[in-house]
Amino acid sequence: MSWNPHNLPDQTGRTHVVTGSTAGIGYFAAEQLAAAGAHVVLASRSIAKLDRASEAIRGRVPRAEVTTVELDLASLDSVRAAASALSLRGRIDGLFLNGGAMETSTDRLTADGLPMMLGTHVVANVALVEQLLPMMTGRIVHASTGFVRRLRLDVDDVRAPQRGFFRAYTQAKTVTELYAYELDRRLRADGAPAASIVVHPGVGVDAKTPAREGVYDPRTQRRRNPFTPWAQGKDDAAWSAVRALTDPEAVGGDYFGPANGRRGLPVRLEPLAHTAHADADRVARVWTQLHELAAGRIVPAENASPRNL
């Protein structure tokens, strides 16, 4: 179909949950979904930021249906509490797993002793999905990155430490894709109504992102980004996820992102072989590890800090 992000399919009567929705791509995905008529649940750890994001959306979409739930992805107790609150809705049509700490230090751990990247970008999402599956009637959308294509990592043990931010982030998103595709295979096998879809946003930068009162003011942005000349704003970077959530023709196992990998309209891309078609035994090990970590049954590997390598 011809996809127009400025004329989305009507979402009236649908409920979409967006994590990490108080800034950046998550905020703009929520705003766009609300403009299409959806009831949007903003999920983030800061109540003050949730309030500001809600007000910003209502400022752009006067009749927006927006509610909030407190969710700290660095705490599995918080994830379980948020999932319990969300389950009271009875039905969830879309879940955009966008949140995650962009932590440059690989030594920082979550409240559960997990590396911050692994814990917030993957394990927390596994715990959230597991608890919300009975309410899911639509799409579970997983945020990945183009780095997974550029730096191929064949993950066998999700707890294996990575030296430096770039490798830690890429490993977390590689595991995200492994989990997302396996989740879809299992949903299909069970005949479940939910579908699992992977997206990557391209490159979104602050310098090209429009202002939103209480959420983002470009006049306060001082950090230069070398990607700016060929990147897009974070409003446009949200399009891949919004398409995955709302396109009537999207199906489980799809992979959406800009055709050129950087910016532009999202298209259906060929999933990456090393994540979508990884060795079945490897995927089974990753799946088991993630669910055991999400349940608190296993802990990170000994001497997991990169400084010990």
**What is the rounded CA–CA span in Å between residue 128 and residue 63?**
29
Split into its structural domains, the chain has a count of: 1
- Give DSSP secondary structure letters for 94-158: EEEE------S-TT-B-TTS-BHHHIIIIIHHHHHHHHHGGGEEEEEEEE--THHHHS----S-T
Place of tokens 């590890």: 289
Classify residue 2: in a domain, yes or no.
Answer: no
Classify residue 72: in a domain, yes or no.
Answer: yes
pTM: 0.93
Q: Is the pLDDT of residue 110 over 70?
A: yes
| Catalytically annotated residues | 169
pLDDT attached to residue 224: 67
Residue 231's SS3 state is coil
Classify residue 1: in a domain, yes or no.
Answer: no
Q: What is the CATH number of the domain that holds 284?
A: 3.40.50.720
Per-residue pLDDT tens for 43-79? 999 999 999 999 999 999 999 999 999 999 999 999 9
Q: Measure Cα distances from 302 to 22, 159, 275, 298, 299 in Å.
A: 35, 9, 26, 11, 9
Q: Supply the range of the domain harboring residue 52.
A: 15-219+228-303
Per-residue pLDDT tens for 173-217? 999 999 999 999 999 999 999 999 999 999 998 888 999 988 887
Classify residue 6: in a domain, yes or no.
Answer: no
Classify residue 9: in a domain, yes or no.
Answer: no
Q: Is the pLDDT of residue 307 over 50?
A: no
pLDDT attached to residue 302: 47
pLDDT attached to residue 279: 95
Strand partners, 258: 266
If one counts every other C-beta atom within 10 angstroms of the C-beta of residue 252, the result is 18
